[in-house]
């Protein structure tokens, strides 16, 4: 048992152990900061939501698409059809006379 403890203590005193511990602690701190940034910074929150939406869209099965009643098909494109219920014409007022009033 003393040989194992002696090897463990010599490893703990080595530069490799210090570098390993520093890297591990730095990784944990950066992971915590990244989690905080995603929750609190709006750009990262929006990017996270975009990634989640993208994952849902790519993993969802493709289903049949229905054409809405207000659409027309022109080749490969589906174009919306809009109708105006009221047409209003706006005309300019009468021109003033050459003499002023």
pLDDT in tens, 55-74: 888 888 776 666 666 666 66
Residues in CB range of 39: below 8 A, 6 or more apart: 45
Residue at 92 is within a domain: no
CA distances from 67 to 23, 54, 57, 81, 99 (A): 56, 24, 20, 12, 62
* Helix and strand numbers, DSSP H then E, in the chain: 3, 2
Phi, psi dihedrals of residue 80, rounded to the nearest 5° = -75, 145
Mean pLDDT across the stretch 65-94?
65
68-79-58 Cα angle (round to 5): 70
Q: How many domains does the chain have?
A: 1
Provide the residue range defining the domain that includes 52. 2-61
Residue at 9 is within a domain: yes
Instruction: Give the dihedral of Cα atoms 59, 60, 63, 67; nearest 10 deg.
Output: -110
Residue at 40 is within a domain: yes
Residue at 42 is within a domain: yes
> What are the pLDDT digits (tens) for 15-55?
888 888 899 999 999 999 988 888 788 888 888 889 999 88
Question: What is the Rg, in whole angstroms, of the alpha carbon atoms belonging to the chain?
Answer: 35
What's the confidence (pLDDT) of residue 29? 95
Residue at 23 is within a domain: yes
């Amino acid at each position: 048992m003393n040989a194992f403890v002696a090897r463990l203590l010599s490893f703990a005193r080595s530069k490799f152990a210090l570098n390993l511990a520093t890297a591990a602690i730095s990784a944990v701190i950066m992971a915590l900061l990244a989690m905080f940034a995603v929750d609190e910074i709006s750009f990262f929150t929006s990017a996270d939501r975009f990634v989640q939406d993208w994952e849902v869209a790519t993993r969802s099965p493709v289903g049949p698409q229905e054409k809405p009643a207000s659409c027309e098909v022109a080749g490969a494109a589906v174009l919306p059809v809009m109708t105006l219920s009221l047409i209003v014409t706006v005309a300019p007022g009468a021109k003033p006379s050459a003499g002023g009033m």
